[in-house]
Structure 1
Amino acid sequence: MPPQLYHLAAFLVSAVVVLISTPIVKKIGLKSGRVDMPGGRKVHQRPMVRLGGVSIFLGALVALLTVWGLGGFGYLPPDKEYEIWGLTFGGLGFFLIGLADDLFGLPALVRLLLQAIVAGCAWQVGVQIDFLTVPFLGLVSLPVWINLPITIIWLVGMANAINWIDGLDGLAAGVSGIAAVVMLVVSLFMNQPAAALIAAALAGGALGFLRYNFNPAQIFMGDGGAYYMGFTLAGVGVVGLVKSVTTVAVLLPYLILAVPILDMSAVILDRLRHGKSPFVADKRHLHHRLLNAGLSHRLTVLFIYALTLWVGSLALAFSNIPSGVAYAVGATALLSYMSWQVRKHARQ
């Protein structure tokens, strides 16, 4: 079977498993009382089950096991297959940390410590940022004492960045799904099939989950789902793109994930500027600002989708994928239209 069909199988299996399992998870959550109550900075108006991450992780895991059972790992070098399982078990660790927080509530520092430990284990199995791009110097190889903390910061930071944008129905799932599809395409083009398999499974799970999570949502993914997707996106960026020894490839993950990265960075800086802890939740995120400007829930989410698609299309163009420039032009036109809609509906 052609390798590309394994990626299609991973996408479809993950999506189908999520579509089937999410209603079951929702039913179990309602019966057990595992719901997120409205109030405070939350925008939902009724109790919501927040265990959808169980379905997303299950979908991706079943997809990878299915491809493995079909012999889809047979054409991969041993080190690449090792990376797949390393990312999968790392994703399991982040998922379990988030699930524990969803069920019992964990202090922020405890979550960060546990995430750093899991990220360190992922680094140990090869999920490492070995290079940085320095202006006028190009690619600079990093010693262990530098690439270890940088890798941990990247993996932990992205997990929390996706969790932080999970404030509106369908927002985190849609942004993650779009980013995963772009990473799938770029990884295949860069001849990184192992990373592409993980991206395909994640994309299928995230987009399948939107069936129940888009506004008005029937279920939330919770911290478990957000941490898992954020870590996996960051990990795919490392093993599929950063490890490609070209300046453009090294920069692509940061471009593809620019929306959650910039949102998180802006919120942290704003909190520090006002003398507040960066870990204290508030309504400083982009989606909160757009809602405060008078935009509807759906228009806010669709505008951020357009932003994510636009930076993803720029990544396609910069990676010299055939028709990449055309995709960027199309995404720019879409973003321009959505920006016009934002100005039209914002309070004067």
Structure 2
Amino acid sequence: MQSLYGSALLVFAISVSLGGVILLTQRWHGVLSHDSQIGIQKIHAHPTPRIGGLPIMLALFIGLFYSSNATLASQVLVAALPAFLAGFIEDITKRVGVRERLVATTLSAGLACWLTGYWLTRANVFGLDALLQAWPVVAIGFTCFAVAGFANAMNIVDGFNGLASGLSLICLTAFAAIAYQVSDYALLQLIVLVMAAIAGFFVFNFPFGKLFLGDGGAYLLGFLLGWIAIMLPMRHSEVSVWASLLICFYPVTEVVFTIWRRRYRKHHPAHPDHLHLHSLIHSRVVKKRLTITNPCLKNAAVSPLVWLFSVGAGLFGSIFYEVTPILALLMSFAIALYLLSYFKIIRIFRTS
């Protein structure tokens, strides 16, 4: 464990250092790396580098050279490359569509299946488990679909300072607690190193938003978090898949509800809008009820309010990770709380 702490500290230091380099040199690369200030979901006031995924990825790869017994971590990071690169190229060129990024993330999931040897063989759902076990091709396809969907979910929630990275840290903390309880130190190593890399980025992202994840970072974190969520129950039969689902409750619920909402409004599922729960919290609660005048702090104030959803889900998921009925009940409660909060905000804090 001592060597793990040393590796994590190194990864954190590299991530912080590379993030600082990006900020200090943005006058030279800003024409390519700065985020656009035009768009329905753009609320920042100053040009900001959106390549925060780069220091996270580089820090992880460099850290692997100084980590012992990091075979599993190496396999997962190699598999993450297509998802990260598709998003990173979009950050630079602004010409990679959602479909291409989803294909790249699906490719990453397929590569992870091949390299690690894991995919969903059960979902703790009657009938579905039999199908997944009888037809490996269906199981692998379902796994790739789930991971690609979750990576897209993380991209959707990446809208405010610290939101996606904070949610990732909360979820990873819960996964680390379970991995420790089941003595899976190889997976724990991967989780801790990813947390250290994210923490280095978080220094610049929250609360003042000096550096953004960008699509590369969001798809990277979404893939890593999604694959950890799959590997943990597949490596340990006592861990319910519903534990992973509950821990990742907020991004999963947000993307499913977003697809339904846009279909209901006769919009394409990929059509951007500002009707996500976190967007409504910003426009109808934070902007109207908080007296903060600094726009960066108003932006950042959204994240802790959303983190509360994941803190409770992560805590209970890591405690009841073996008990599927309780986890399913808690998941139902979490979804109900999300929907209640959503429609309560719309009804009480109506815009003029």
Task: Indicate the TM-score class for this superposition, using the shorter chain for normalisation.
Answer: 0.7 to 0.9
The counterpart of 1:161, out of the listed 153, 163, 172, is 153
1:44 aligns with 2:36: no
AA of the residue aligned to 2:104: L
Q: Secondary structure at the match of 2:66?
A: helix
* 1:53-202 to 2 correspondences below 5 Å: 53-68=53-68, 72-73=69-70, 81=71, 83-104=72-93, 105-125=95-115, 126-135=117-126, 141-202=133-194
Tell me, yes or no, if the aligned pair for 2:174 and 2:318 is still in contact at 8 Å. yes
Q: Equivalents in 2 of 1:270, 1:242: separation in Å?
A: 32
Q: Shift of the alpha carbon at 1:137?
A: 9.4
Moved more, 310-319 or 116-125: 116-125
Q: Secondary structure at the match of 2:67?
A: helix
AA of the residue aligned to 2:149: G
Match of 2:267 in 1: 276
AA of the residue aligned to 1:38: Q
Name the Cα RMSD after superposition: 2.6
Q: Secondary structure at the match of 1:133?
A: coil
* 1:322-337 to 2 correspondences below 5 Å: none
Q: Shift of the alpha carbon at 1:289?
A: 1.2
- Deviations, residues 60-81 of structure 1 (Å, cap 9, x unaligned): 222222113xxx44xxxxxxx3
- Deviations, residues 206-228 of structure 1 (Å, cap 9, x unaligned): 12211100122111111111111
Q: Secondary structure at the match of 1:56?
A: helix
Q: Equivalents in 2 of 1:138, 1:163: separation in Å?
A: 29
Stretches of structure 2 lacking an aligned partner (at least 5 in a row): 287-297, 324-329
Tell me, yes or no, if the aligned pair for 2:105 and 2:223 is still in contact at 8 Å. no
Q: Secondary structure at the match of 1:134?
A: coil
1:30 aligns with 2:27: yes
Match of 1:78 in 2: none
AA of the residue aligned to 2:54: V
* 1:279-290 to 2 correspondences below 5 Å: 279-290=270-281
AA of the residue aligned to 1:51: I
Q: Equivalents in 2 of 1:5, 1:161: separation in Å?
A: 34
AA of the residue aligned to 1:48: T
* TM-score w.r.t. length of structure 2: 0.82
Tell me, yes or no, if the aligned pair for 1:10 and 1:200 is still in contact at 8 Å. no
- Deviations, residues 59-105 of structure 1 (Å, cap 9, x unaligned): 2222222113xxx44xxxxxxx3x43221111222111111111112
Q: Equivalents in 1 of 2:111, 2:304: separation in Å?
A: 36
Q: Shift of the alpha carbon at 1:135?
A: 4.4
Aligned-residue identity in percent: 22
Stretches of structure 1 lacking an aligned partner (at least 5 in a row): 74-80, 322-327
1:313 aligns with 2:315: yes
Tell me, yes or no, if the aligned pair for 1:170 and 1:213 is still in contact at 8 Å. yes
- Deviations, residues 165-185 of structure 1 (Å, cap 9, x unaligned): 110011111111111122112
Match of 1:259 in 2: 250
- Deviations, residues 107-127 of structure 1 (Å, cap 9, x unaligned): 222222222222212222223
Task: Give the paired residue count.
Answer: 315
Q: Equivalents in 1 of 2:89, 2:233: separation in Å?
A: 31
